[in-house]
Amino acid sequence: MVALIEDWLQKLGFINAERLMARAALCAEDSETLKRNLK
């Protein structure tokens, strides 16, 4: 039972980490386009 919960938490953590990475990449892209538009 505990192993199942740990596996589930790992999957959730992995998914959250991927979402955070994707969001960070989007923010970086947004700042790059802003810099280009300001030039």
pTM of the predicted protein model: 0.53
Which amino acid, 34?
A: L
Rounded CA-CA distance 35/19 in Å is: 24
Q: Where are the domains of the chain?
A: 1-38
Q: What is the pLDDT of residue 38?
A: 85
- Taking phi over 0 as left and psi of -120 to 50 as alpha, with beta for the rest, 20 belongs to alpha
Q: What is the pLDDT of residue 10?
A: 86
> In the 3-class helix/strand/coil scheme, how is the chain assigned residue by residue?
CHHHHHHHHHHHHHHHHHHHHHHHHHHHHHHHHHHHHHC
Q: What is the pLDDT of residue 29?
A: 92
- Tens digits of per-residue pLDDT, 1-39? 788 988 888 888 888 888 888 999 998 999 899 889 887
